[in-house]
Amino acid sequence: MALDNKSEFKYIGTRPNRPDGLDKVTGRARYGADAYAPGMLHGAVLRSPHAHAKILNIDASKALAMEGVKAIVTRNDFAKGLEGDDWDLLENTIAGEKTLYDGHAVAGIAATSVLVAKDALKLIEVEYEVIPHVTDVDAAMADGAPVIREGAADHSVPEGLHPNVVRYTEFGRGDLDAGFAAADMVVDRSFKTEAVHQGYIEPHACLADLGADGRGELWCCTQGHWFVRRMCSALLGLETTQLRVTASEIGGGFGGKTTVFIDPIALALSRKAGKPVKLVMSRSEVLKASGPTASASMDVKMGMTKDGKLTAATASFRMQGGAFPGAPMDMTTMLAFSCYALDNVHHEGFDVMTNRPKQAAYRAPGAPMGAFAVESVMDELCEGLGLDPIETRLKNAVKEGTKSAFGPRYKAIGLIETLEAARDHPHYSAPLAENTGRGVASGYWMNWGGETSVSLAIGEDGAVQVGVGTPDIGGSRASMALMAAEAIGIPYENVRVNVLDTAALGTNEPSHGSRATYASGLATIEAAREAIGKLCQRAADKWGIDAEAVEWKDGAAYPSGPNAGDFEPLSIADIAGEMGSTGGPITGHHDASPTGFGGSFGTHIVDVHVDPDTGRSTVKRYTVIQDAGKAIHPSYVEGQFQGGAAQGIGWALNEEYVYGEDGRLQNDVFLDYRIPVASDLPMIDTVIVEVPNPGHPYGVRGVGETGITPPLPAVANAISHATGHRMTRLPMSPPRVLRAIQGKGIS
Amino acid sequence: MTRIHVNTTVNGDKVDFLADPRETLLDCLRDKVGMTGAKEGCGTGDCGACSVTLDGRLVCSCLVLGVEAEGKQVETIEGMANGGELHPLQQKFIEYAALQCGICTPGILVATQALLKKNPDPTEEEVRYWLAGNLCRCTGYDKIIRAVMDTAKDLRAEKVGGDV
């Protein structure tokens, strides 16, 4: 599919009210926990209080005898003989022989009320044998560290590494020695980031109704209900199409709702009890036992000439993703140097298991950590050589045709455009107050296509319905309606976009990978074009001419020229009003796994004030500049930029998983796991750069993820400039910054 | 445990329900009154998604027991619009794209309405501190703050101050 080369859009780029706005400002919108069913039971989950323990025995007899308790499930109630990813998923959903982290599910209960279910949990007697644990990535790789699971490593891991190292990657090109020898300055630094949580405000919630005949319904908050269907079917031994999954409205996900945690337990309880079961996580359960991101320990070495040309770069990334393989070291390694043209470059990555929850995707998974390390070193090189950080980035920036550090040559991309916009932005030259530093950083995410299926149908009045399979997590109904309106030439208000259930469409990947507006949008446009073809055919039949002689514009069929004949145009309403007698329903449909997705670069500028007496950092000004390809609804593009920046600021300054010596999570409520609040942040300025993606008819790239990549290094660079101390560890909490100011090091 | 018969008023309508003394007002509103507009994001009073007013005072309904609503006036997001006519705050939130996923929106609207009743002319800093107890993970707050400030300005211009 090629770019339309449409120079003027009628609807794309406007800012209409979102179609689901009214529902979401009045409390009408139904989220995961807002569903009820007749005869419904309530579920609760018993969780391990230990970081690592053998389960010797589970005695649920007292709980089962309690009045109102209808079913109890343990690992025995799930599919047997699973392997690979399915086994990992089951093992994470409900513990088998061992509990692997604080909060690991051990049993589920369904009862007539939430209170009864919670009381009954206390009557389940579990006999544990506590065994040694490890939660730090470097400690988990060291000799003598407790082994999470023997034999979990795949063939990529070189001999001699600890069994907790389960995957390894290594790649590069060029002559590193010669590259570093050609440098006038070399910086070699180690960095560490802690695990953080996506922090969606809506806890996981579902309502399951599964019969003993293997036919079921599941309502849940998810970014991708076909993923949920596949995972739950595997864990419960069902045929996929016998389980119909409906996505509720979703209260945030950021990657964390692309897998399952409680849904299989609710289904198993429902099957056993013969009744619908509603199961909702508490915040503490979300933090302990859903999927935070990986933590990382990293070494980055880069060399630069005195005029600002990078000569060589190497990086080693050690990442823990909990008690299972899957830390996103692939993406961290691939994207660490993605902003720069490098002839001599090398990457190494380690996927390490620890006694923590299984990590899940979080907005550009793996990229922010690598960017933190690389963009910090880049900043230190510029500082050391007295070079401007934006001009120096421009000197090394990748562009169309540049061979990326991870191999392929870039297609049309917009890094240089974001850097130029940053350089020219008034923020970059504004004066700085005392004890305030300015940080700059760039970042990248390559985005994704993925399996996509969209159906479109014309109503008898000429209005249009679009059925998509990507849940609307931040305004995508509006984007789809704009694209359908543009393609067909009818008003935005005449399009209704519905998120359909798994029984209504072919497989759709989740709203992840910044793909919804790109892939569902592309399929919406193609489905609209198919419908337009049918509309033209109906007009041609009525006029008695060939369909090729009919032209579609502004929502109506016209004879394509004087030779086609002299006919009054037929509007979409005219044709639709007669469709029952002219051949039946008029629809369009498109299935694809589009591969023309286009990556998005961003550059951020931030001013941070550091209180020299307390070490407290305050973000005073923030500007996000990012390439959207084409902004379909600019307000929601800006919103993605702002939200990504805010999450990155939280990761940089406040957020972290704190494990005690007992291996238990110390901060499992929002008071202690502190995400940015309104009084922590300034306004976040945005600049939308548009370098069209040739792989989408209107040029869309996808904008969701890139925005969380630059903030970590941008904030760190600003604090380093404000304090004169290079910050190499996140979060840059007041005590840590104060220690740096006092010359006590970065611990 | 014996359940207690609670008589209260929600958005002007008299309602009654049987509450276990351990159940929160949030649980009772959602599961017994059928008003699911208030959300549970944390259950510990940290996120504000369950914000309602109790006799005019802004509270986290997850920190209030259902039985405490006896004889009181509860106002929730479901009572904010006047029939089909949205409150200016609701309208402005849609126009400004001040929501992405929307889960925090009911709580933020209820909290903001309470602010504007107390202070029709808040500074940006006052809005930010007032809303510091309402977590939003999607927006970075920028468009929310702008929507609140501009609604307040519109309301002052219309001199509707008595009825925010």
**Alpha-carbon gap, residue A290 to A356, rounded angstroms:** 10
* Residue B23, domain CATH: 3.10.20.30
- B101 touches A at CB < 8 Å: yes
Nearest one of A522, A521, A519, A515 to A704, comparing CA atoms: A515
DSSP label at B66? G
The half-sphere exposure of A31 on its side-chain side, counting CA atoms within 13 A, is: 30
**Alpha-carbon gap, residue A316 to A329, rounded angstroms:** 10
The total number of residues shown for chain A amounts to 747
Question: Which candidate in A22, A26, A278, A705 is best for mutational testing of the B interface (most B CBs within 10 A)?
Answer: A26
Higher confidence at residue B114 or residue A562? B114
B95 & B159 share domain: yes
Across the range A293-321, mean pLDDT stands at: 98
Task: Tell me the pairing of strands A125-130 and A310-320.
Answer: unpaired
DSSP assignment of A187-225 equals EEEEEEE-------SS--EEEEEE-TTS-EEEEE--S-H
- A24 touches B at CB < 8 Å: yes
Complex ipTM value: 0.97
At residue B139, the 3 state secondary structure works out as coil
DSSP assignment of A236-280 equals HT--GGGEEEEE-B-S--TTTTSS-SSHHHHHHHHHHHTS-EEEE
Using 50, 70 and 90 to split pLDDT, how confident is the model at A79?
very high
For A553-598, write each residue's pLDDT tens digit: 999 999 998 889 999 999 999 999 999 999 999 999 999 999 999 9
CA nearest B129 in A: which residue? A679
B62 & B101 share domain: no
> Residue A639 is nearest to which of B42, B100, B135, comparing CB atoms?
B100
Q: How many domains does chain B have?
A: 2
- B90 touches A at CB < 8 Å: yes
The position carrying tokens 């999607």 is B138
Do the Cβ atoms of A374 and A342 come closer than 8 Å? no
Min Cα distance A118 → chain B (Å) is 12
CA nearest B35 in A: which residue? A27
CA nearest B32 in A: which residue? A36
B95 & B114 share domain: yes
Domain termination residue (choose one: B79, B98, B121): B79
Do the Cβ atoms of A636 and A642 come closer than 8 Å? no
Task: Tell me the pairing of strands A452-458 and A587-592.
Answer: antiparallel
Give A116-119 contacts, CB < 8 A, sequence gap 24+. A116/A42, A116/A66, A116/A67, A116/A68, A116/A69, A117/A42, A117/A43, A117/A44, A117/A69, A118/A44, A119/A66
- A643 touches B at CB < 8 Å: yes
Using 50, 70 and 90 to split pLDDT, how confident is the model at B117?
very high
Across the range B65-75, mean pLDDT stands at: 98
- B63 touches A at CB < 8 Å: no
The position carrying tokens 């579609």 is A552
Host domain of residue B152: 88-163
The pLDDT of residue A135 is 98
B108 & B71 share domain: no
- A678 touches B at CB < 8 Å: yes
Min Cα distance B71 → chain A (Å) is 24
CA angle A496, A497, A503 (to 5 degrees): 125
Contact B97 A635 (CB under 8 A): yes
Min Cα distance A99 → chain B (Å) is 25
At residue A622, the 3 state secondary structure works out as strand
Contact A198 B41 (CB under 8 A): no
Rounded alpha-carbon distances, angstroms, from residue A243 to A228, A229, A250, A506: 10, 7, 20, 14
> Residue A200 is nearest to which of B1, B137, B145, comparing CB atoms?
B137
Q: Would you tell me how many other CB atoms lie within 10 Å of the CB of residue A76?
A: 10
Using 50, 70 and 90 to split pLDDT, how confident is the model at A1?
very low
Question: Which candidate in B101, B112, B134 is best for mutational testing of the A interface (most A CBs within 10 A)?
Answer: B101
Across the range B81-91, mean pLDDT stands at: 97
Higher confidence at residue B164 or residue B127? B127
- B49 touches A at CB < 8 Å: yes
Nearest one of A156, A704, A216, A102 to A503, comparing CA atoms: A216
DSSP assignment of A34-58 equals G---TT-EEEEEEE-SSSSEEEEEE
* Whether pLDDT at B159 is above 90: no
B92 & B69 share domain: no
Peptide bond into A471 cis (omega under 30): no
The residue type found at B40 is E
B71 & B125 share domain: no
Question: Which candidate in A677, A681, A687 is best for mutational testing of the B interface (most B CBs within 10 A)?
Answer: A677
**Alpha-carbon gap, residue A25 to A21, rounded angstroms:** 6
- B150 touches A at CB < 8 Å: no
The residue type found at B114 is A
**Alpha-carbon gap, residue A443 to A605, rounded angstroms:** 12
**Alpha-carbon gap, residue A738 to A614, rounded angstroms:** 6
CB < 8 Å from B in window 242-301 of A:
249-254, 280, 282-283
* Whether pLDDT at A114 is above 50: yes
Check the CA dihedral A222-B100-A448-A195 and report its sign. Answer: negative
B142 & B98 share domain: yes
CA nearest A686 in B: which residue? B142
B45 & B72 share domain: yes
For A84-108, write each residue's pLDDT tens digit: 999 999 999 999 999 999 999 999 9
> Residue B132 is nearest to which of A26, A254, A677, comparing CB atoms?
A677
The pLDDT of residue A660 is 97
The position carrying tokens 């209900």 is A225
The pLDDT of residue A746 is 66
**A671 contacts on B by Cβ (under 8 Å):** 44, 46
Contact B143 A639 (CB under 8 A): yes
Contact B41 A202 (CB under 8 A): yes
- A637 touches B at CB < 8 Å: no
Rounded alpha-carbon distances, angstroms, from residue A393 to A161, A258, A379, A531, A584: 37, 35, 10, 47, 59
The pLDDT of residue B164 is 47
B69 & B100 share domain: no
Return the percentage of chain B with pLDDT > 90, whole number: 95
The residue type found at A421 is A
The pLDDT of residue A6 is 67
Return the percentage of chain A with pLDDT > 70, whole number: 99
Higher confidence at residue A693 or residue A1? A693
Domain termination residue (choose one: B48, B79, B110): B79
For A181-238, write each residue's pLDDT tens digit: 999 999 999 999 999 999 999 999 999 999 999 999 999 999 999 999 999 999 999 9
For A159-183, write each residue's pLDDT tens digit: 999 999 999 999 999 999 999 999 9
Do the Cβ atoms of A66 and A119 come closer than 8 Å? yes
The residue type found at A678 is A
Do the Cβ atoms of B144 and A635 come closer than 8 Å? no
**Alpha-carbon gap, residue A436 to A402, rounded angstroms:** 36
The pLDDT of residue A279 is 98
The pLDDT of residue A3 is 58
* Whether pLDDT at A440 is above 50: yes
**Alpha-carbon gap, residue A712 to A671, rounded angstroms:** 22
CA angle A197, A222, A267 (to 5 degrees): 110
Do the Cβ atoms of A630 and A738 come closer than 8 Å? no
**Alpha-carbon gap, residue A152 to A213, rounded angstroms:** 35
* Residue B105, domain CATH: 1.10.150.120
- A647 touches B at CB < 8 Å: yes
What separation, in Å, do the N-terminal and C-terminal C-alpha atoms of chain A show? Answer: 52
- B17 touches A at CB < 8 Å: no
B134 & B151 share domain: yes
- At A321, which helix (H) or strand (E)? none
> Residue A639 is nearest to which of B44, B46, B97, comparing CB atoms?
B97
- A54 touches B at CB < 8 Å: no
**B88 contacts on A by Cβ (under 8 Å):** none
The total number of residues shown for chain B amounts to 164
Q: Would you tell me how many other CB atoms lie within 10 Å of the CB of residue A461?
A: 10
Min Cα distance A108 → chain B (Å) is 21
Tokens of A681: 């942040």
Give a three-class secondary structure readout of A507-570: CCCCCCCCCHHHHHHHHHHHHHHHHHHHHHHHHHHHHCCCHHHEEEECCEEEECCHHHCCCCCE
Query: Phi, psi at residue A69, to the nearest 5°?
Result: -85, 125
The pLDDT of residue A583 is 97
Question: Which candidate in B87, B141, B148 is best for mutational testing of the A interface (most A CBs within 10 A)?
Answer: B141
The position carrying tokens 């009154």 is B33
Task: Tell me the pairing of strands A617-627 and A684-689.
Answer: parallel
For A613-626, write each residue's pLDDT tens digit: 999 999 999 999 99
Which ranges constitute the DSSP H helices of A103-173?
114-121, 137-141
Domain termination residue (choose one: B79, B102, B118): B79
E strand segments, B71-130: 73-75
- A635 touches B at CB < 8 Å: yes
**B132 contacts on A by Cβ (under 8 Å):** 677-680
The position carrying tokens 């599910």 is A105
**Alpha-carbon gap, residue A168 to A160, rounded angstroms:** 12
For A492-515, write each residue's pLDDT tens digit: 999 999 999 999 999 999 999 999
- B23 touches A at CB < 8 Å: yes
**Alpha-carbon gap, residue A380 to A211, rounded angstroms:** 61
> Residue A249 is nearest to which of B27, B102, B132, comparing CB atoms?
B102
Domains defined for chain A, CATH in brackets: 21-29+450-592 (3.30.365.10), 38-355 (3.90.1170.50), 379-447+598-741 (3.30.365.10)
Do the Cβ atoms of A203 and A281 come closer than 8 Å? yes
The pLDDT of residue B161 is 47
Q: Would you tell me how many other CB atoms lie within 10 Å of the CB of residue B34?
A: 12
The pLDDT of residue A8 is 87
| Paired strand residues for A403 | A409
Contact B27 A29 (CB under 8 A): no
B66 & B98 share domain: no
Tokens of A68: 């109102």
> Residue A678 is nearest to which of B81, B90, B131, comparing CB atoms?
B131
- The size of the A-B interface in CB pairs under 8 A is 187
* Whether pLDDT at A4 is above 70: no
- A671 touches B at CB < 8 Å: yes
**Alpha-carbon gap, residue A605 to A388, rounded angstroms:** 13
**Alpha-carbon gap, residue A79 to A231, rounded angstroms:** 11
Contact A200 B38 (CB under 8 A): no
Contact A282 B43 (CB under 8 A): yes
B93 & B66 share domain: no
CA angle A33, B75, B135 (to 5 degrees): 55
